């Protein structure tokens, strides 16, 4: 059977009751697909290699597009014309590659080149998947991944479990794209249902939070947490804050590149400037939160200090990222528009892009100042009342 491969044509192919249905592309000679009884469509190239009729599997449709398949088919035919044997190369790769080799290739060829968050890939895989490093990648089963997914959920939470599942799947997908002739064992495993977070510091929690923060003995961690709340910036940006990004005269912090790939200028409240002014006295480090002995040179992740603050404050189910949401919530409660909040937090949406471009920092600064004053007042007034009543 033959046909001009289009999306509509391939989707119209009916799965055979048993065995496989083979269809050749009329546009790219040698490119074909086979359809299994379960409806899976796989691209392959049929060529004669070393006097053998061979099939070189390329990938599955629709994960691989028709144009990608045609490009791959052309490249494979060129290899064969040069006397190379892609079948033997793939067989050798499958028999020899370990999960560590696969992960290393993923990091060097993809993650470090295309992801700003590549360090998280490196850290999380080393933390949760290092027991697979010496294993042949082809021996890792779907059942193993399913059980690991459930264990991480029970011990570390469903969000962490889902992120690890995504990384496993991405590592195998990239290896298949680069020639590994195996199946992705993570394919078909469903992520746990995630709920969107709406947690932020409530008015009755602020006095306890500020008191617990003042009592924290780690000053670097204490200042980091306070600036996270006062700026509403992402944790990674605050941790890596540099002195050359701070403009004291304009009371601004210029982040060169945020998670969405754009720069962001954050107006700094008086309280934020006071913390920064105190920290810059006598320092010669490039980092605002410099830590000696740290691999990066700055504070990595103050989990222990954060847990101490929450324990002293008697607050549960609050994450450091929720401090970012807290500023936005207090901006809303003090009358800021959604566009102003989005501008101050560096949110990016197609609908608001034009308004963001026209919006200057003055109303954003006023909004941040009002929200900061409201939070401070809520914390101070309640604590003062308790002290007087005591």
Whether residues 333 and 275 share a domain: the answer is yes
pLDDT in tens, 284-327: 999 999 998 888 899 988 999 999 999 999 998 888 888 887 77
353 pLDDT higher than 60: no
Whether residues 75 and 108 share a domain: the answer is no
Whether residues 352 and 244 share a domain: the answer is yes
Q: Determine the Cα–Cα distance for residues 354 and 349; give it in Å rounded to an integer.
A: 10
Decide if 92 is inside a domain.
no
Whether residues 252 and 379 share a domain: the answer is yes
Whether residues 16 and 105 share a domain: the answer is no
pLDDT of residue 96: 74
387 pLDDT higher than 70: no
Decide if 218 is inside a domain.
yes
Whether residues 266 and 339 share a domain: the answer is yes
pLDDT tier, 33 (very low <50, low <70, confident <90, very high otherwise):
very high
End of a domain among 54, 85, 116?
A: 85
Decide if 263 is inside a domain.
yes
pLDDT tier, 8 (very low <50, low <70, confident <90, very high otherwise):
very high
Whether residues 331 and 374 share a domain: the answer is yes
Q: Determine the Cα–Cα distance for residues 167 and 158; give it in Å rounded to an integer.
A: 14
pLDDT of residue 358: 39
Mean pLDDT computed over 64-83:
85
Decide if 34 is inside a domain.
yes
End of a domain among 139, 162, 177?
A: 177
CA atoms within 13 A on the CB side of 149: 22
**Which range of residues forms the domain containing residue 110?**
99-177
pLDDT tier, 232 (very low <50, low <70, confident <90, very high otherwise):
confident
Mean pLDDT computed over 328-345:
62
Mean pLDDT of the chain: 84
End of a domain among 46, 63, 85?
A: 85
pLDDT tier, 359 (very low <50, low <70, confident <90, very high otherwise):
very low
pLDDT of residue 116: 74
More confident residue, 50 or 230: 230
384 pLDDT higher than 70: no
Mean pLDDT computed over 17-24:
92
Decide if 93 is inside a domain.
no
Give the CATH number, domain containing residue 246: 1.10.443.10
Decide if 186 is inside a domain.
no
pLDDT of residue 350: 39
Give the CATH number, domain containing residue 63: 3.30.160.390
pLDDT of residue 78: 83
pLDDT of residue 356: 32
Whether residues 312 and 378 share a domain: the answer is yes
pLDDT of residue 179: 84
Whether residues 253 and 129 share a domain: the answer is no
- In total, how many domains does the chain have? 3
More confident residue, 53 or 187: 187
pLDDT of residue 122: 93
Mean pLDDT computed over 211-220:
95
pLDDT of residue 288: 96
Mean pLDDT computed over 219-227:
95
Decide if 184 is inside a domain.
no
Whether residues 119 and 52 share a domain: the answer is no
Contact 45, 78 (CB under 8 A): no
Decide if 90 is inside a domain.
no
Whether residues 110 and 23 share a domain: the answer is no
Whether residues 343 and 372 share a domain: the answer is yes
The segment with the largest mean pLDDT, out of 65-79, 90-104, 358-372, is: 65-79
């Amino acid at each position: 059977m033959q046909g001009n491969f289009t999306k509509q044509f391939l989707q119209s192919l009916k799965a055979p009751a048993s065995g496989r249905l083979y269809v050749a592309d009329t546009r790219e000679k040698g490119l074909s697909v086979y359809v299994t009884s379960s409806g899976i469509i796989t691209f392959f190239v049929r060529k004669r290699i070393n006097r053998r009729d061979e099939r070189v599997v390329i990938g599955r449709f629709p994960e691989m597009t028709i144009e990608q398949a045609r490009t791959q088919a052309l490249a494979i035919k060129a290899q064969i014309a040069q006397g190379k044997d892609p079948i033997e190369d793939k067989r050798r790769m499958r028999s020899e590659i370990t999960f560590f080799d696969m992960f290393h290739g993923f990091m060097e060829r993809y993650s470090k080149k295309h992801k700003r968050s590549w360090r998280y890939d490196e850290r999380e895989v080393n933390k949760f998947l290092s027991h697979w490093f010496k294993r042949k990648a082809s021996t890792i089963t779907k059942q193993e991944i399913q059980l690991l997914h459930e264990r991480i959920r029970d011990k570390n939470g469903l969000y962490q479990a889902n992120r690890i599942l995504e990384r496993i799947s991405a590592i195998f997908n990239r290896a298949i794209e680069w020639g590994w002739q195996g199946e992705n064992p993570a394919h078909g495993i469903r992520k746990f249902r995630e709920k969107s977070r709406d947690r932020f510091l409530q008015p009755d929690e602020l006095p306890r939070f500020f008191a617990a923060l003042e009592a924290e003995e780690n000053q670097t961690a204490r200042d980091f947490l306070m600036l996270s709340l006062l700026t509403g910036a992402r944790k990674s940006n605050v941790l890596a804050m540099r002195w050359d990004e701070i403009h004291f005269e304009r009371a601004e912090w210029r982040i060169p590149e945020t998670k969405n790939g754009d720069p962001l200028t954050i107006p700094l409240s008086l309280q934020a400037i006071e913390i920064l002014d105190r920290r810059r006295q006598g320092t010669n480090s490039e980092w605002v939160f410099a830590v000696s002995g740290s691999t990066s040179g700055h504070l990595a992740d103050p989990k222990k200090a954060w847990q101490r603050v929450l324990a002293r404050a008697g607050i549960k189910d609050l994450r450091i990222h929720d401090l970012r949401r807290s500023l936005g919530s207090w901006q809303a409660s003090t009358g800021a528009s959604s566009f102003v909040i989005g501008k101050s937090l560096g949110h990016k949406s197609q609908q608001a892009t034009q308004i963001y471009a026209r919006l200057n920092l003055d109303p954003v600064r006023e909004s941040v100042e009002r929200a900061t004053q409201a939070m401070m007042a809520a914390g101070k007034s309640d604590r003062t009342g308790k002290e007087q009543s005591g």
